[in-house]
Chains A and B, each alone.
Chain A
Amino acid sequence: MSARETILKAVAMNKPDLTELPDMDISLTIQYPDLIQQFIGMVEAAGGKAYYENSGHDLLNDIAEVKAEGKFMINLLEDSNAEEWESLNASELEALDTCYLRAELGVAENGAMWISEKQMVNRLLPFICQHLVIVLNPGGLVNNMHEAYRQINATANGFGVFIAGPSKTADIEQNLVIGAHGARSLRVYLL
């Protein structure tokens, strides 16, 4: 008998009597009076920086500054020919300094933003860049993860990710270090 059959047979034999799934009434879950303020607070608690008032102006400055420094940047906000980034591999993206992209939705309870493969174009981009800049429509904020999963279609693309803050670790004596293996900083423009 194959491992598959052995396992499935043992599971079928040993499983307990069928119990029901809970009926989840998500109206019982937390709602915030001010989604934007709550979201900004959580982005910053996660080590990111959020821009709201004047964010359009700030974003233009942000892009101009990185451009002026002459660093390798990928701007998916305005790129009409995003396909050129699609097939780049890790060694070609190693030097990527800043990546600009749009998130589909933000979650007020934890500062996480949903980015699907369609938005990131190349799965490596949000992780391999040194600095990640995300633009989010404040109208795309929801209270919590239950609402988030109702809005996004998590399986519409081959890959998708919730990102909350820059990469971090506390593996050395529980000291928080921002910048583990993914992006070292995160800027969020609510626009």
Chain B
Amino acid sequence: MSVKQHAEAAQEFIKDEARTDWHDETLWFVRHKRDKAVNTLPEWEILRDWASRIKNHTLSNLDYYLRSFEEKAASNGIIVHWASDAEDHNRIIHKIIADNKIEKIVKSKSMLTEECHLNEYLQNKGIQILDTDLGEYIVQLRKESPSHIVLPAIHLKRQDVSETFHEHLNTEKGNYDPQYLAGSARHHLRERFIESDLAITGVNFAIAESGSFVVCTNEGNADMGVHSAGIHIACMGIEKLIPKTEHLGVFLRLLARSATGQPITTYSSHFNKPRPGQQMHVVIVDNGRSRQLGRADFRNSLKCIRCAACFNTCPVYRRSGGHSYHSTVAGPIGSILNPNLDMKANSDLPFASTLCGSCSNVCPVKIDIHEQLWKWRQVIVANGYVDKGKKAGMQGMAWVLSNPQVYRMAGKMGRWIMRTFPFMLNNRLNVWYKQREMPRAPEKSFRDWFKENK
């Protein structure tokens, strides 16, 4: 099955205008909550600056911090594994499952395991993983993927959730009450937590000086799973490290405010050692991150703490939906991370932006997202990954714009055509005519007007 490009997939998404508007407004509402939370702290810009510099420093000494984390974690009784890519990651986890003859597995939200397609990998080996974050649980039942890294089911309405739960959990048909629906999921998942043998989580922050790691949730699903099961596997990308415990103060203040406008998540759990009799594993994953570290223009995308503030503010994301990005991490940050993973397959993503720069303004760790989008476009064109039509158009445009006489002639012709034969532009061959009217052409150019009126 070929993957639809962003523009094509977005076209599908916006067919339902009322739902598109709802999606747009709901995410903008989350962005507003973020603004309100941010405005309660006079030191917000100082925090961003600290966070950015802590992450820059960590990346500049990352091999040292990885070694330090490994050593400290091991001395705390945590088993550390290294995975070069998604395949490695999945194999390591499968081995732990197989060695311990595990059947019942729960997982809390981890975008890394989504990136590695862990669920599918294990499913092919006959092993079922249950996603326990409510949003992820909903999309898992529907055999979909998350459309947002913080709000996985934001593309769905309560009616959709109600139907899905009616089918899978036998909830009342037509009961759309979120309290009732979430309560039913709670009831059902409690049993799964209690009987689980193994729990998989992500990692929000890993602390190099102590070998500890922190997992943040609102639902408490990570803790319910981990403290019930005999085995805990935490999966982290190499970029999750921070040097010291005191740096958590900065990041925990930024994360939830940026993500949902909460001053902190309900639970910020600090794992230092396994409990007696428990196995605790950490899988450290590269999967292209060290390559990104070597790209001077794009390396600071690795500072990302996955708050999704850039999603919620993005006018393109809000009106095209997460699935149109055909990647685990959608939105502006995904559009600068994914071309590193597969430049050809993701060559459309850096173009799914207006370059308005709002993403960079809200980013709590000061990633220059919109500039990287622009730089990726150039890399992608240089590598020949844009379609011929766009390339020819751009080259034609470059020629016209660099020849003043040609430019003036083209302008004159264009204005004449628009006035005299509007149907030549107002037709479906012209993508600029889709969903909008073409402007009325003026009689003369600004240049001519200026010459007459100066």
Is there a chain B Cβ closer than 8 Å to A4's Cβ?
A: yes
Q: From residue 93 to 142 of chain A, which have CB atoms closer than 8 A to chain B?
A: 94, 107, 109-112, 123-124, 127-128
Is there a chain A Cβ closer than 8 Å to B102's Cβ?
A: no
Least distance between B379 CB and chain A CB atoms (Å):
17
Complex: A96 Cα to B133 Cα, angstroms:
22
Given A20-B57, A149-B246, A168-B266, check contact A10 B291 (CB 8 Å): yes
Given A110-B263, A145-B249, A158-B272, check contact A21 B293 (CB 8 Å): no
Given A30-B43, A181-B224, check contact A148 B249 (CB 8 Å): yes
Least distance between B182 CB and chain A CB atoms (Å):
4
Complex: A6 Cα to B262 Cα, angstroms:
39
A164 near B265 (CB under 8 angstroms)? yes
Is there a chain A Cβ closer than 8 Å to B157's Cβ?
A: yes
Is there a chain A Cβ closer than 8 Å to B56's Cβ?
A: yes
B83 near A3 (CB under 8 angstroms)? yes
Complex: A174 Cα to B157 Cα, angstroms:
10
Tell me which of B213-221, B366-374, B432-440 binds A. B213-221
Tell me which of B183-191, B322-330, B348-356 binds A. B183-191
A180 near B157 (CB under 8 angstroms)? no
B50 near A22 (CB under 8 angstroms)? yes
B228 near A90 (CB under 8 angstroms)? yes
Complex: A179 Cα to B185 Cα, angstroms:
11
Is there a chain A Cβ closer than 8 Å to B121's Cβ?
A: no
Q: Specify which chain B residues have a CB less than 8 angstroms from the CB of A171 in the assembled complex.
A: 133-135, 138, 151-153, 182
Q: From residue 243 to 302 of chain B, which have CB atoms closer than 8 A to chain A?
A: 243, 245-246, 248-250, 252-253, 260, 262-275, 284, 286, 290-291, 293-294, 296, 299
> Count the A residues whose beta carbon is within 8 Å of the partner chain — how many?
73
B269 near A159 (CB under 8 angstroms)? yes
Complex: A101 Cα to B26 Cα, angstroms:
38
Given A12-B63, A167-B266, check contact A144 B290 (CB 8 Å): no
B249 near A167 (CB under 8 angstroms)? no
B182 near A162 (CB under 8 angstroms)? no
Q: Which of A3, A164, A170 contacts B264 (CB under 8 A)?
A: A164
Closest B-chain residue to A126, C-beta based?
B223
Q: Specify which chain B residues have a CB less than 8 angstroms from the CB of A46 in the assembled complex.
A: 262-263, 266
Is there a chain B Cβ closer than 8 Å to A63's Cβ?
A: no
A159 near B189 (CB under 8 angstroms)? no
B253 near A173 (CB under 8 angstroms)? no
Complex: A128 Cα to B269 Cα, angstroms:
15
Is there a chain A Cβ closer than 8 Å to B42's Cβ?
A: yes
Least distance between A79 CB and chain B CB atoms (Å):
19
Given A7-B290, A14-B293, check contact A159 B273 (CB 8 Å): yes
Q: Which of A10, A15, A28 contacts B61 (CB under 8 A)?
A: A15
Is there a chain A Cβ closer than 8 Å to B346's Cβ?
A: no
Is there a chain B Cβ closer than 8 Å to A177's Cβ?
A: yes
B266 near A170 (CB under 8 angstroms)? no
Least distance between A21 CB and chain B CB atoms (Å):
5
Q: Specify which chain A residues have a CB less than 8 angstroms from the CB of B228 in the assembled complex.
A: 89-90, 124, 128
Q: Which of B62, B219, B271 contacts A182 (CB under 8 A)?
A: B219
A146 near B220 (CB under 8 angstroms)? no
Q: Which of B161, B193, B262, B267 contacts A90 (CB under 8 A)?
A: B193
Closest B-chain residue to A5, C-beta based?
B82
Q: Which of A4, A18, A168 contacts B218 (CB under 8 A)?
A: A168
Q: From residue 145 to 191 of chain A, which have CB atoms closer than 8 A to chain B?
A: 145-146, 148-150, 154-155, 157-175, 177, 179-183
B264 near A19 (CB under 8 angstroms)? no
Complex: A124 Cα to B361 Cα, angstroms:
40
Is there a chain A Cβ closer than 8 Å to B344's Cβ?
A: no
Given A145-B253, A159-B271, A170-B260, check contact A7 B134 (CB 8 Å): no
Subset of 23 A-B contacts with CB under 8 Å: A10-B286, A13-B294, A24-B250, A26-B249, A91-B194, A109-B263, A123-B227, A123-B275, A127-B267, A128-B224, A144-B249, A145-B249, A149-B246, A158-B274, A164-B264, A167-B219, A168-B219, A172-B153, A172-B158, A173-B178, A175-B158, A179-B186, A180-B134
Interfacial residues, chain A to chain B (CB-CB below 8 A): 2-4, 6-8, 10-22, 24, 26, 28-30, 42, 45-46, 89-91, 94, 107, 109-112, 123-124, 127-128, 144-146, 148-150, 154-155, 157-175, 177, 179-183
The 9 closest A-B pairs by CB, nearest first: A182-B220, A14-B294, A180-B219, A110-B263, A158-B273, A171-B135, A10-B290, A90-B228, A4-B82
